[in-house]
Amino acid sequence: MRIIIESDAAAVAVRAATRVADLIRRSPGCVLGLPTGRTPLGFYGELVRRHEEDGLSFSRVVTFSLDDYIGLPPHHSASFAAYMRRNLFDHVDMDPENTHVLDGGAEDLLVACESYEAAIREAGGIDLQVLGIGSNGHIGFNEPGSSLGSRTRVKTLTRETLEANASSFEDLDELPRLAITMGVATILEARSCLLLALGEEKALTVRDMIEGPITAQAPASALQLHPDVTALLDEGAASRLQRRDYYRHRS
């Protein structure tokens, strides 16, 4: 795993956006896997800025969102589909046909999961999967205990995840208990992965992901099995890494 430590969140956003912009310029029809959450907000802001100011075009880019809640209508402001529109899709020249989101409102969720996997295959696979990490070590909504061989499926959210995401809901009774998420094995099939983590509250989880054992109890640790992963961290998120000096000296 390549570890890059930047001074702060803004520098992480710029570096992540540069990685994606370089890929889009090299390969305008590339396939991106995209996360939601607080961590990638600066990164999406930077991509929008590059579209507006530098003419970065998303017209042929294909995207797959990592996960979404079950039971929320797509226009609900806390749905991940709405998040993607609000923070990226509505501000760039993306073709809506190319933006795939998981349908947490599908009548048959099993079919929705299988069609998502099929759509990823038909698009030729994901070139770059961007990820955040939950404080409990989840990637996507693959909560601790998720099989490292899991595919896109329904997951029950943990109490920690519900608490972490509660602020997006005005009415806590609306907070979904279930989500639909790409599986760990689906994520590992991406040709490369870029994981972003910010802040000291992620430091122990980041250490487990990079320096801990590979275990379903910390699903992000499965990224150690992937040949092309970059973890892009700010100082806070990197602060508990034991081999921090080595990562700095290497990059």
Annotated catalytic sites, by residue? 67, 136, 138, 143
Cα 86 to Cα 10: distance, rounded to the nearest angstrom: 20
Least CB distance from residue 40 to ligand F6R, whole Å?
A: 7
What order do you get walking across the sheet with 229-234 strand by strand? 2-6, 229-234, 192-197, 128-131, 31-34, 62-65, 99-100
Per CB under 6 A, contacts with ligand F6R among 131-160 are 132-134, 138-140
Among 17, 39, 82, 84, binds ligand F6R (CB under 6 A): 39
Residues 66-95 that bind ligand F6R (CB under 6 A): 66-67, 80
C-alpha gyration radius of the chain: 17
Give the contacts of 206 (CB within 8 A, at least 6 positions apart).
Answer: 133, 197, 231, 233, 237, 238, 240, 241
Please choose, from the candidates 225, 189, 224, the residue with its C-alpha nearest in 3D space to the C-alpha of residue 117.
189
- Does 104 sit near ligand F6R (CB under 6 A)? no
| Residue appearing with tokens 């990562």 | 247
Residue count at the site for ligand F6R (CB under 6 A)?
Answer: 14
Min dist. Cβ of residue 67 to ligand F6R (A): 5
- Closer residue to ligand F6R (CB): 201 or 228: 201
Residues at the site binding ligand F6R, with contacts judged by CB under 6 A: 35-39, 66-67, 80, 132-134, 138-140
